[in-house]
Amino acid sequence: MLLLVLFRVSFANDKKAEQAEARALLAKSHDLSNIEAVGSPAFVLNAKIHYQTGTQTAEGDGQIIWTAPDHYRVAYSAPNYFYIEIVRDGHRYLARTNDEMPLVIYDLHTTVAKAMQAGPDPKDKIKNVAVMQSGNDSLTCITFKPPVAMRDCLDSNGDTVTTESGPPTAASAPYKRYEFGDFVAFGAKRFPRKMTFRGGDGHVIEIEIQKLALAKNIPTDEFKIPMHSAVETWCAQPEFDPPHVARPETTFDLRMALAQGPAAPLIAAGASLYCVVDRGGRVRYVTLMHSSRPIKDEVVRNWVRGARLPLLHCGDDGLEYQTEITFAH
């Protein structure tokens, strides 16, 4: 019995030490690749983008010109689609092929944003830690408890090399994997020159940075507002209606969304939807990303007609946004 008690104490101490080391690595990683952090130098980033869905492939381009968190220009191209976002003078201007951001551009946007994100919130709870070998380096893979439910793998430099959500074994959740590699120093930061998104439906986006350099003497024309651009108020941290403090894909807000609209068939199928939500909380555009059984388009349309999602605000002004909702048990 004494040996069993000593083993349990030793195991608990080892687990605490393991989590402490993981926390230290996360602290080292925090903001390491966030080249858009406040006070960072202006930069220009040019990229080549490769899209693949099944056997179909296509090429595109991307560019970010950034001078401050409230002054930047983002441009992406994909087959039959272009996207330009300009933030300046307290407003956000959007010029697009049409008013809807397709899922592929959303995934592209998300991949680049994850490369630049500050890292997990220190308050996020760690579920477990695993160390594995990758080439000549060892990776520390940290799985977080819900509602985060993500797994990040970091190398010894503190670089996040993979981020995963919705593991392949979970039939009710779409699998997403983000890969980052070929990190280079950029001032005090480190940034990946290669990024890859892998979706559970088989579509892949590969991003290769062609140029990342300090920006000097940026022509004013780069921030010229395109004709017929949509415009909305910009703020650093827009907020959802109280008591909604997070995006509606989180468990609490999802309950509110499920209470409206004929969602029963979507719940039964464990469906996952990508939605573009207008300023009034109506779903303006939807794509079925995943389901455990076939779902008719009419079922999705019926839910869209009745659904009202939380409003996103910048001060007194409503904003459109994109989100993913998983109807899982």
Question: pLDDT tens across 123-169, in order?
Answer: 788 888 998 887 778 899 999 887 667 889 999 888 999 999 865 44
Q: Give the pLDDT score at 249.
A: 57
Predicted confidence band at 254 (pLDDT cuts at 50, 70, 90)? low
Task: State residue 15's pLDDT score.
Answer: 74
The per-residue pLDDT of the chain, averaged, comes to 85
User: Chain centroid to CA 234: how far?
Assistant: 19
Evaluate whether 249 touches 322 at the Cβ level (below 8 Å). no
Rounded CA separation 324/26 (Å) = 26
pLDDT 10s digits, 90-113: 999 999 998 888 999 999 999 999
Q: Given this model, what pLDDT does residue 122 score? A: 66
Other CB atoms within 10 Å distance of the CB of residue 48:
13
User: How many CB atoms are located within 10 Å of the residue 319 CB?
Assistant: 19
Note whether 131 and 138 are within 8 A (CB): yes
Q: Please provide the DSSP assignment of 133-168 as one string.
A: EETTEEEEEEEEPTTT-EEEEE-TTS-EEEEEES-T
CA-CA distances (angstroms) from residue 227 to 92, 99, 220?
A: 14, 14, 16
User: In the numeric block, which tokens belong to residue 284?
Assistant: 């303006």
Token couple for 147 = 């509602």
Q: Label residue 256 exposed, middle or buried (CB < 10 Å: 0-12, 13-18, 19+).
A: middle
pLDDT, tens digit, 9 for 90 and up, residues 266-312: 888 888 899 999 999 999 999 998 888 899 999 999 999 888 888 99
- The pLDDT value recorded for residue 263 is 82
Q: Calculate ∠ Cα 112-117-118, nearest 5°.
A: 165
Compute the chain's Rg from CA coordinates.
21
Mean pLDDT score, 241-268: 63
Burial of 203 (0-12, 13-18, 19+ CB in 10 A): middle
Amino acid present at 149:
A
pLDDT band at 264 (very low <50, low <70, confident <90, very high): confident
pLDDT score at 272: 87
Q: What's the mean pLDDT in 71-76? A: 97
Distance CA 223, CA 242 (A): 35
- In the predicted structure, residue 232 carries a pLDDT above the cut 50: yes
Whether the predicted pLDDT of 253 surpasses 80? no
What the block records as the tokens of 251 is 């468990």
What's residue 189's pLDDT?
Answer: 93
Angle among Cα 209, 213, 216 to the nearest 5 degrees reads 145
pLDDT of 229 > 90? The answer is: yes
Closest CA to 293 of 270, 315, 311, 316: 270
- Per-residue pLDDT, averaged over 80-85, amounts to 94
- CA torsion 272-273-279-281 (nearest 10°) is -60
Burial of 95 (0-12, 13-18, 19+ CB in 10 A): middle
Q: Do 283 and 266 touch, CB atoms closer than 8 A? A: no
DSSP one-letter code for 197: E
**pLDDT tens-digit series, residues 189-208:** 999 999 999 987 778 999 99
Q: Please, which pLDDT band fits residue 11 given cuts at 50, 70 and 90? A: very low
Instruction: Provide the residue type at 250 as one letter.
Output: T
Share of the chain above pLDDT 70, in %: 85
The Cα 237–Cα 95 span in angstroms is 22
The token pair that represents 43 in the structure block: 């930069």
